[in-house]
């Protein structure tokens, strides 16, 4: 199985190109997002040089990101071939998208490997928060065993609270095969498949397809369709009936004719493809915080956080009202997506007023102990272990205990803690 980068060069001048910052503004990107997410990018070849990244950042008013190269299997950053364009696109788009949402420089780790799943395993072990893959091949070319192994790696990564994204392919519904086929790893149920649109300006958007001949396996347009390996997924609420898991889940501008302006090999160039969409979303999700995990069900329950794309098709399938196998849920409404995850984040614990400590007495009542425990473990505090509850209770007792008072028994204190837990003030698991 030979994965290739999902990238295309423009055929003719159009109303583009987009700078990443302008595109983010057109997609209503949030501002002052909390950030903190570490972005992992897998590359199977090519390389990058700091001078190109510096030129891109200077031209776009973006601070230099922190970029760390990680060799997974001996593969290394080796600039000097056509794959350099893919690498530059991934790093530069992710960095600029993250900055547009946070006003802060991104932290990016580039995983050099010959296998996408192996790189994902390493990024998971390193604690990365978002994983972006712009490489892929038709599901039929991978074979069932390899596709299922890819899904196992992705499922493990999302279980470790990583967001996993992959380009949906650039050869229309056939994905370069002889018949309709979705792209892997975008077909995996634990991966957010990223499709492509044509977006000549802020107010217009349609399915990306520059070659609408359904019999041409090398057509140029967004991948999309239904998996023949994975069944239809219950989380894809509102998806049309099909033979299996629908791809893509989301979309954004990908048409190279109105492409992205990047810097590579010492100069500015314009490229497109669903390769640009995965790192665009990676920058957004990394900006929304750390450890978001498997967010696909949440996205699919909230269609209103995307702009529905209803015009165009990818050869075998047509867009329409609601989700479709061309652009999925549609293109992002950044502020709406940010609000969605901000609303789901656990609220910081609200401290209850600390009861005044009694004057020194000969004894301390159990009721007083209970009050101090309640104050130390605020209602709704997201405790994970009983040990955390006991530590907070001990701190509350130490803070409030009158110096001249005698101790109640250890058993009475334990009873107080248990009573606090039973009341629902602390869920200790």
Known catalytic residues? 86, 90, 275
Nearest 5°: phi and psi at 269? Answer: -145, 165
DSSP-derived pairing of the beta strands 107-112 and 135-138: unpaired
- How big is the chain by its Cα radius of gyration, in Å? 25
- 38's CB contacts (< 8 A; 6+ apart) are 107, 108, 109, 127, 128, 129, 130, 286, 290
Task: Report yes or no: 379 and 427 within 8 Å, Cβ to Cβ.
Answer: no
Task: Report which of 373, 352, 354 is spatially closest to residue 420, judged by C-alpha positions.
Answer: 373
CA–CA gap between residue 268 and residue 289 (Å, rounded): 31
Q: How far apart are CA 1 and CA 154, in angstroms?
A: 18
Peptide bond into 185 cis (omega under 30): yes
Using alpha carbons, select from 292, 335, 1, 299 the residue that is nearest to residue 138. 1
Q: The tokens of 92 are what?
A: 């530069």
Q: Which residues pair with 63 in a beta bridge?
A: none
**C-beta separation of 4 from 116 below 8 A:** no
CA distance linking residue 116 with residue 222, whole number of Å = 21
User: Cα dihedral angle (15, 20, 23, 25), rounded to 10 degrees?
Assistant: -140
Of the CA atoms within 13 Å of residue 141, those in its CB half-sphere come to: 19
Q: Which residues of 75-103 are buried (b: 16+ CB within 10 A; e: fewer)?
A: bebeeeeebbbbbbbbbbbbbbbbbbbbe
Whether 244 contacts 229, CB under 8 Å: yes
**Which pairing describes strands 192-201 and 204-207: parallel, antiparallel, or unpaired?**
antiparallel
């Amino acid at each position: 199985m030979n994965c290739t980068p999902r990238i295309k060069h423009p055929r003719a001048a159009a109303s583009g190109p987009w700078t990443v910052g302008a595109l983010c503004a057109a997609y209503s990107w949030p501002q002052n997002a909390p950030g903190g997410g570490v972005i992992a990018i897998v590359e199977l070849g090519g390389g990058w040089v700091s001078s190109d990244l510096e030129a891109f950042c200077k031209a776009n008013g973006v601070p230099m990101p922190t970029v760390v190269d990680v060799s997974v299997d001996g593969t290394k950053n080796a600039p000097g071939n056509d794959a350099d364009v893919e690498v530059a696109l991934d790093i530069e788009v992710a960095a600029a998208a993250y900055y547009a949402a946070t006003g802060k420089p991104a932290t990016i780790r580039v995983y050099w490997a010959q296998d996408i799943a192996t790189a994902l395993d390493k990024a998971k072990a390193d604690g990365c928060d978002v994983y972006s893959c712009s490489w892929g091949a038709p599901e039929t070319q991978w074979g069932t065993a390899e596709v299922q192994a890819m899904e196992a790696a992705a499922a493990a990564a999302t279980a470790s609270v990583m967001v996993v994204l992959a380009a949906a392919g650039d050869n229309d519904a056939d994905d370069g095969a002889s018949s309709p086929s979705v792209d892997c790893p975008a077909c995996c149920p634990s991966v957010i498949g990223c499709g492509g649109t044509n977006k000549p300006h802020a107010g217009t958007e349609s399915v990306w397809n520059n070659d609408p001949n359904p019999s041409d396996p090398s057509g140029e347009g967004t991948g999309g369709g239904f998996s023949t390996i994975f069944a239809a997924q219950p989380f894809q609420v509102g998806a049309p009936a099909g033979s299996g898991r629908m791809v893509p889940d989301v979309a954004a501008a990908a048409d190279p004719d109105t492409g992205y302006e990047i810097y590579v090999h010492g100069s500015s160039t314009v490229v497109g493809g669903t390769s640009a969409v995965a790192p665009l979303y990676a920058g957004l999700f990394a900006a929304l915080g750390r450890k978001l995990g498997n967010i696909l069900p949440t996205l699919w329950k909230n269609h209103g956080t995307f702009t529905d794309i209803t015009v165009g098709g990818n050869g075998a399938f047509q867009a329409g009202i609601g989700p479709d196998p061309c652009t999925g849920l549609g293109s992002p409404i950044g502020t709406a997506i940010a609000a969605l995850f901000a609303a789901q984040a656990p609220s910081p614990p609200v401290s209850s007023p600390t009861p005044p400590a009694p004057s020194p007495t000969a004894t301390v009542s159990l009721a007083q102990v209970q009050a101090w425990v309640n104050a130390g473990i605020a209602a709704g505090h997201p405790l994970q272990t009983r040990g955390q509850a006991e530590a907070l209770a001990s701190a509350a007792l130490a803070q409030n205990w009158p110096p001249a008072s005698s101790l109640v028994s250890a058993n009475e204190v334990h009873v107080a803690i248990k009573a606090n837990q039973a009341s629902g003030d602390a869920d200790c698991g």
